[in-house]
Chain A
Amino acid sequence: MRSDGIFIAVEVDDRAAADPELARRLTEACPVDIYAQGDDGALQLVERNLDECVLCRLCLDASPPGTVSVIKLYDDSAVLA
């Protein structure tokens, strides 16, 4: 799944997004509420908060490598490493 703001896009591997445990961890980690957990436990991306991203990397730390990408749309779609 992927969601785009004006400045920031977030892409999450579809299989990982279905994992309630990962959804919970991401929801807790993000300081600006980009991640939420749906009623079915699966991950949701909150579009209106995408541009609030502070590039803190906490979501990357909370997920297995390669499952979550934070993309800087203003920087030739550079991926936050």
Chain B
Amino acid sequence: MRFFEFEAREVVKRAGIPVTDYGFTTDAGEAREIAQRIGGPTVIKSQVLTGGRMKAGGVKFADTPEEAEAHAREILELEINGHMPRGVLVDPRAEVEQEYYAGVVWDGTRKQPVMIFSPVGGIDIEQVAEEQPDKVGRRHFSNILPLSDFQAKEVIASTGVSGSALNRLVPIVTRLARLFVENDMVLAEINPLGRLADGSFVALDAHMDIENEARGRHKKLLAELGVGEEETRQAREATPFELAGEQVDAQDHRGVAGNVTEFDGNLGLVIGAGGGSLTLFDAVRAHGGEPANYCEIGGNPSVSKTCGLAKLVLQKPGVEQIAVMMSIVSNTRVDIVARGVIKACLELGFDPAEKIAIFRIPGAWEEEGFKILEKYGVDYADRSVSLNEAARRAVEKIQGASAEAA
């Protein structure tokens, strides 16, 4: 889960890394008061979880508190890439002599965190790595041996930085590495990290991303930052349809029937499990089908949970038919899923034979499952029909049905 800049800066500050005397607000009048307190030129920065805010006009410079207020008013109303800002950050405009970069990320191949440092900051680190590779230092560090200052010293020195700058940077990079580990981050980045006229360093912007799976052990931090437990902060906010999917999944603890993502096609998908869902979604699209949703079923969900998911998809505006497909199941049961989707059709007053374009779930309890499907006249397939072929049949059927209706 990504942090807003004002939250990331707070995390940086708590780790003992110097930050500017900024203020965060959702109110233009208050922005003026913050600028007054700062008492000099300021920068007003939109707080959005998307890139390109500078280009979009989400960052503006102010010389007076009045100007700060005017800019804040404008920025608070400005939508950037479909995101409304959470607020604005009013930051003193620091006299920076040089901008540096410091970051920590995971290396999934080495399975260790890696510190990244560059004396070229303020721009994307990927760009620096491409254009001036000798200006980017990297160093892995152990997950179980103690973190020590020399590791940061080595990575900074490897980029040609020496003198008092080196000695002042070492504790900052070490603290950043420590906060990355302690807070279960997947990204912790200070960019730019500014060197001021007096030789001191200050974090001017920060990007932090905490791992979703670890949120449970950072409840205190998240509560203090004001992050709601329901906030997912995905690339786009969850739709009401997706939230309803979460509710279906939460109704009991047996298995999974959820992880719904909304699309705008006419073919509803009741599919599983993780890898099978990805494969099937691709296959439907490859055959020219238009999925109404993505979802996942797995871990042997109850009949009522499967029924709830199927109902949700069946009732989605624009959905004409559903395709019920999974890779060969061994834990989830064919008969239980069959009962769930047929029950959903019946309770909504639909004929399962018409509404279910195809049912392709082979595996555990398939004999019982196929009996149920036969009784209701649902078109089904066993393992001799591939996932791809099942998807093709579903698409063909729904296109035929649409043509007939037209």
Contacts and interface: CB of A to CB of B under 8 A. Distances in A.
Interface string A37-58: 0000000000000011011000
A75 B335 CA distance: 12
B336 A54 contact: yes
Interface in B294-310: 302-304
Interface in B337-369: 339, 342-343, 346, 368
B375 interface: yes
Contacts of B376: 74
A10 B335 CA distance: 18
Nearest to B340: A51
B342 A6 contact: yes
B371 A52 contact: no
Contacts of B342: 6-7
Contacts of B222: none
Nearest to A6: B343
Interface string A2-43: 000011000000000000000000000000100000000000
Per DSSP, chain B at the interface is helix
B303 A52 contact: yes
Interface residues of A, number: 10
B372 A74 contact: yes
Contacts of A51: 303-304, 339, 343
B368 A55 contact: yes
Report whether over half of chain A's contact residues are helix, strand or loop; otherwise say mixed.
loop
Interface string A60-81: 0000000000001011000000
B340 to A, nearest CB: 9
Contacts of A6: 339, 342-343, 346
Contacts, number: 29
Interface string B294-338: 000000001110000000000000000000000000000101100
A63 B371 CA distance: 27
A30 to B, nearest CB: 14
B330 to A, nearest CB: 15
Contacts of A74: 371-372, 375-376
A7 B372 contact: yes
Nearest to B304: A52
Nearest to B346: A6
B178 to A, nearest CB: 48
15 contacts: A6-B339, A6-B342, A6-B346, A7-B339, A7-B343, A7-B372, A51-B303, A51-B343, A52-B302, A55-B368, A72-B368, A72-B371, A74-B371, A74-B376, A75-B371
Interface of B: 302-304, 333, 335-336, 339, 342-343, 346, 368, 371-372, 375-376
Interface of A: 6-7, 32, 51-52, 54-55, 72, 74-75
Given A7-B343, A7-B372, A74-B372, 12 more contacts: A6-B339, A6-B342, A6-B346, A7-B339, A51-B304, A51-B343, A52-B302, A52-B303, A55-B335, A72-B368, A75-B371, A75-B375
